[in-house]
Structure 1
Amino acid sequence: MEGVSNNSYIDGMKWKKDEGAEYADPDEQQKLEQEDFFKLLTEQLNMQDPSKPVENDQMIAQMTSFTMAEGITGLSERFDQFAEDMTSNQALQASTMVGRKVLVPTDQANLEEGAGVSGMIATPQTAQNVKINIKDSSGAVVKTLNLGDMPEGTKEFEWDGTTTTGEQAPAGNYTFSVNATVGGQTEELPLQMHARVQSVSTGGERGVVLNLKGLGGIKLSDVSEIS
């Protein structure tokens, strides 16, 4: 009959759940430790057929297999702990960034009351007639910044927060777009904006996430610069 053994020791090692008993992890109750393995090996030697004893190489192979399995399990546990420590260390380092500004790949910026915003433009070659259009949440252009010609590379820019009429723009999110003439053709250049870090989140598939004021979360690995 299935599940029945003639060996009392082996039967005694089977996990038996008492009625009414609760276990947090049944798999842990059925795990064989190194001591259990050697007890099973000893029992196997005692029960072997004297006319067909276990060969030395078979015994060594069994011991080696168990040792390798135990080593792999231990290595996996240490790796998990290492990954957890790395995440905790990243979170601790990221927490020091709260209140500071970071440069991130986005075309939006949060304008704080009485302040301005800044960013960075990149061009693969010399660009002429570089212009930055700034739009509010409704899509209306509130101001255009004329930067003239720009050599290959990156260039920082700043908007003081005023509109075309010279009035202070209300606080909130604004969208930026950069147009320039590159190689005789009009192109839109990539840009990055500075944003203020409000808090730090950990866990999940994204790992350490910086929560930016008005812009939501961004992965720590996407940050280009810390001000």
Structure 2
Amino acid sequence: MDNVNNNSAIQDMYWKKEETAKAGSADQKLEQEDFFKLLTEQLNMQDPSKPVDNDQMIAQMTSFSMAEGISNLSTQFTQFAESMTSNQALQASTLVGRDVLVPTSKAYVDGSGPANGAIATGQSAQNVKITVKNEVGEVVDSFSLGDVTAGMTEFSWDGLDASGNPVPAGKYQFTASGQIGGTNEEMPLQMNARVQSVSMGNGQGIVLNLKGLGGVGLSDVTEIS
């Protein structure tokens, strides 16, 4: 009877330990404390005639330390990236109400001032002409810039049509063309736009919401006025 009772007690201890282990391993993640417990059990259960090699023990400890270090480094990088994003958002918020130069050929005109932009070209061009169209594609005005050199050439449109009348508020399309190497070509434009608000998230980083033009990435801004 004593043997039966002892076996039952041993079984109870075994099942309780197993249940405790299962209950405590909900996240299925080994921490440093768990590793040292396993290492201690390994030493206790080793064959006396074939003890664990010291090199193997050191290798196991080194591997765990490296894995833990990489995990901590990843966490720190994540926190650093979040901090950088917050700082960028704070800096971008100071742009609200200011004009920025962005790579686009459109500008929003509402009579509050001229539409300013710049031609970006890698080489000089002759007889450069700016054409302005409204949202339905009608030409409302055009003007000449003459010859331009390589680099950035600024220009400004007063918001008046070819007859000298103020144009209605809205979005206008600009086109720059000129002679480059004897061939008439269109040149890339950049236009000034007013920043109304700043957004962040949705995997797009910092987005500047421009008046009448929509959103543009902070990294796309080439100049702040």
Q: For residues 36-185 of structure 1, what are the structure 2 equivalents within 5 Å?
A: 36-185=34-183
Choose the corresponding residue for 2:187, options 189, 192, 197: 189
Cα deviation, 1:126-154, whole Å, max 9, x if unaligned, reads 32111100000000000001111222222
Aligned to 1:45, the other structure's residue is in SS state: helix
Give aligned pairs, total. Answer: 213
SS in structure 2 of the partner of residue 69 of structure 1:
helix
CA shift for structure 1 position 125: 2.5
Q: Is the 8 A contact 1:14 1:30 kept in 2?
A: no
Whole-angstrom distance in 2 between the partners of 1:8 and 1:36: 20
**Are the structure 2 counterparts of residues 38 and 129 from structure 1 closer, same or farther at C-alpha, using a change threshold of 3 Å?**
same
CA deviations over 1:14-39 (Å, ceiling 9, x no partner): 3338xxxxxxxx86x22221111111
Q: How does 1:23-42 map to 2 (within 5 A)?
A: 29-42=27-40
Identical-residue share of aligned pairs (%): 62
Deviation string, structure 1 residues 186-221 (Cα, Å, up to 9, x no partner):
111111000111111112332111111111111111
Q: Find the partner of 2:18 among 11, 34, 41.
A: 11
Question: CA shift at 1:88, angstroms?
Answer: 0.8
The superposition leaves residues 150-175 of structure 1 with CA deviations (integer Å, 9 ceiling, x where unpaired) of: 22222110111111111100111000
Matched residue type, 2:151: G
Deviates more, 1:73-82 or 1:148-157: 148-157
Q: CA RMSD in A?
A: 2.0
Alpha-carbon distance between aligned partners in 1 of 2:15 and 2:54, rounded to the nearest angstrom: 26
Q: What amino acid sits opposite 1:194 in the alignment?
A: N
Q: Contact 1:208–1:220 at 8 Å: present in 2 too?
A: yes
Larger Rg: 2
**Structure 1 residues 7, 40: closer, same or farther in 2, change over 3 A?**
farther
**Quick check: 1:202 aligned with 2:209?**
no
Once residues 133 and 174 of structure 2 are traced to their aligned partners in structure 1, the CA distance between those partners, rounded to angstroms, is: 7
Partners of 1:15 and 1:30 within 8 A in 2:
no
